[in-house]
Amino acid sequence: MPDPAALYHTVRLIRRFEQRAIELVHSGEIVGGIHPYLGQEAIAAGVCAALRPQDQITSTHRGHGHVLAKGADPARTMAELAGRATGLNRGRGGSMHAADFAVGILGANAIVGAAAPIATGAAWAAARTGADRVVATFFGDGAVNQGVLLETLNLAALWRLPVLFVCENNGYATSTRTEAAVAGTIAGRATAFGIPAATVDGMDPEAVLAAATTAVAAAREGLGPSLIECVTYRFDAHHTWEHAARPRYRGEDELARGRSRDPVAIQGARVPAARREAIDAQIEQVLDDAVRFALESPHPDPAGAARYLYADGSHTRAGAL
């Protein structure tokens, strides 16, 4: 049985983390902007609640929710967004590349669809040693038209690998409507390869959890990959760049309709008010601490800008002599 309060905690944490991060974008503390996960919190929360600590994920450019739901420290995540030395990636990755291998996050990935084969290869490596590990790979509706994703569905099905393909269909690939970009269906792409697919309400954390639990169980039993299409709605911008540029591709009516089903409210209604308030207060404290930690952390030393380029620690020539 799902723990309603635990799921509520996750969606609320992501919601408030993103709102705090947007504030830091506007104040200039986070440079380059972010792709806010607002509205899609149920998916990260539901999928990661179906995973165990030894399981792994790959994430996307819109990745903060996945990273937090899989267990990354909010303070070090915020510090990474702010480009600080204490960040998850020591300030080398930023919003689109947050990774924490210690908790099974093989990285957010900024190329649409590119993480799917990485997740699948990691799943293969684990499976061949008998490790009890499932790898979930998140991607958006835009990725279902990337060749590499379709190639990967084929490989994962062919080799019956323990991968969970999670499509977050938020209706738009940046500004292009899913209907304008996807021939056929998203679930149909999976079933074409013999991969079981389910389309679920991506605004309801418990619906996502239920579907993910079934898929993860099948993967653990050696039945191979599954795909879950989570139908969702992005409440905010594709990227915070839109806050200033205000491109018009979604009308006010549509936005109001889309925002009317809020995953935080849906899950919050399943938790007694007193418990909810306690969780909210605890999250505010965590995020106050996270923002303070991020902003008080040192910037990385420019002398080490090329550090970590090679795993063997070797260096390349400087750009000026």
Partner 1 sequence: MANLSYLKALNRAIADEMARDPAVCVLGEDVGVAVTNVTAGLLKRFGPDRVLDTPISEQAFTGFATGAALAGMRPLIEFQIPALLYLAFEQIADQAHKFSLMTGGQAKVPVTYLVPSSGSRPGWAGQHSDHPYSLFAHVGVKTVVPATPEDAYGLLVSALREDDPVVVFAPAGAVGVRADVDLAALGPIPLGLGRIHRTGTDVTVVAIGQHVHDALAVAEELAEEISVEVFDPRTLHPFDWTGLGASLDRTGRLVVIDDSNRSCGIGAEILATAAEQLRLTAPPRRVTRPDGTVLPFARALDLALQPNREQLRTAIRAAAKSTWEA
Binding residues (CB under 8 A) for partner 1: these are 87-93, 97, 99-102, 106-107, 109, 111, 114-126, 128, 135, 147-148, 151-152, 154-155, 158, 306-312, 314, 316-317, 321
Strands 176-177 and 172-173: antiparallel
- Kindly tell me which of 106 and 182 has the beta carbon lying closer to partner 1: 106
CA dist 69 and 98 (Å) reads 13
Helix axes 147-158, 115-128, angle to 10 degrees: 20
Shortest gap between Cβ of 127 and partner 1 (angstroms)? Answer: 10
Instruction: Judge whether 143 and 113 are in contact, CB under 8 Å.
Output: yes
Phi (first) and psi of residue 147, to 5 degrees:
-55, -40
Shortest gap between Cβ of 78 and partner 1 (angstroms)? Answer: 15
CA dist 66 and 79 (Å) reads 16
Shortest gap between Cβ of 105 and partner 1 (angstroms)? Answer: 9
- Kindly tell me which of 45 and 88 has the beta carbon lying closer to partner 1: 88
Shortest gap between Cβ of 80 and partner 1 (angstroms)? Answer: 9
| DSSP letter, residue 30 | S
- Kindly tell me which of 157 and 197 has the beta carbon lying closer to partner 1: 157
Shortest gap between Cβ of 146 and partner 1 (angstroms)? Answer: 9
- Kindly tell me which of 100 and 141 has the beta carbon lying closer to partner 1: 100
Instruction: Judge whether 49 and 87 are in contact, CB under 8 Å.
Output: no
The residues, ordered by sequence, that sit 6+ positions from 112 with a Cβ below 8 Å of its Cβ are 60, 61, 139, 140, 142, 143, 146, 173
CA dist 253 and 264 (Å) reads 21
CA-closest candidate to residue 142, choices 182, 184, 114: 182
- Kindly tell me which of 101 and 249 has the beta carbon lying closer to partner 1: 101
Do you know the residue count of the chain? 321
- Kindly tell me which of 34 and 271 has the beta carbon lying closer to partner 1: 34
Q: How far from 149 is each of 35, 54, 192, 232, 316, CA to CA, in Å?
A: 21, 24, 13, 20, 34
Shortest gap between Cβ of 149 and partner 1 (angstroms)? Answer: 9
Shortest gap between Cβ of 212 and partner 1 (angstroms)? Answer: 20
- Kindly tell me which of 154 and 213 has the beta carbon lying closer to partner 1: 154
Please count the CA atoms within 13 angstroms of the CA of 237 that sit on its side-chain side: 17
